[in-house]
Structure 1
């Protein structure tokens, strides 16, 4: 999952960056609203974390401009002030949720996961498709009720597929949403990664969980 984090407190921005990357997220950073608006227009994000008190363009106006441009990513707003009027203004501007500083990382992560699930039409923390099941709370993945050990990147790819079960996902889209660095898309990096993931999900070749659509990308297999 690719996130946009917008915060003018450099210490907090760094802390969020480290914490979210440790959780397997791909993170882009902005320390003012103007830069954040540029990034939001240029790249597809699965969610954004936006501070209210930003230089150049404040958090409220940033959210309003994103929504005017039909940028539909879920947005979690942060504020140091616990005033209900400010929360209402943020929600009216188009934010999806609100968190008051200081906060616990566990609460921020829980709210973030819930926003991403709901944006994909999944309210339940247990995602499933055919024999594959993923619990977004415990981050456990099973195939036919058998636990599968995955790396952080592999987990995020499975999660992304399960949040988009009917969608054909291109190599470019996988790269943009999963990885921090840009890979040469003519290379076989993604093919090798998907091949390794298939072996972990389907070591005996019985399930065939991920289809390849030549020239288009990948999609979860369809099960009756």
Structure 2
């Protein structure tokens, strides 16, 4: 059994240690979708993920897939992508990136980013708490990118999209070094995927991941990234 959260109450989650092992990380249902709910969740290593028409679900899987300054690498195939004449920007088109990430990936696959989520994350973006990376092709069209939340010196990656082959990998390869250079100590990728594993993902047990959150989510706000990178 998982806990049911009161949408009209103060954001409060059960301990992530109560998360189920099957399915891995399922912790709670219900609750609200506001900047305060999201901030409270991410600080505890919890994130929302559910079909748009289903009940809201909150997750905290273990082990946790992360990338650190020491583990990060750019694979050879992605280095070739960096030769493309594309432009990387940050925070120039946050809502457009979220909407692109919310689009179905195929005729049969649904999506999990609904309008309520777009509204809540965009409010966090306006408050300087959520950021986007945008890739613009040689014709000035938005062709890829990703978004996520930054709390202290942790960046919580959320979703990526590509309208041109490799565009999201181009964005990550270009932006991750800038994030680490600004003082980010941990990029949370949530679950290990083949797409991101090549960039140096390591998997942390729950104790180690929670210690990182304790150490790094309460640090001072980092300076903003440049608009054009």
TM-score normalised by the shorter chain: which range applies? under 0.3
The two structures have a TM-score, normalised by structure 1, of 0.26
TM-score normalised according to structure 2 size: 0.26
Structure with the higher helix share, 1 or 2: 1
Q: Which has the higher contact order (CA 8 A, sep 6+)?
A: 2
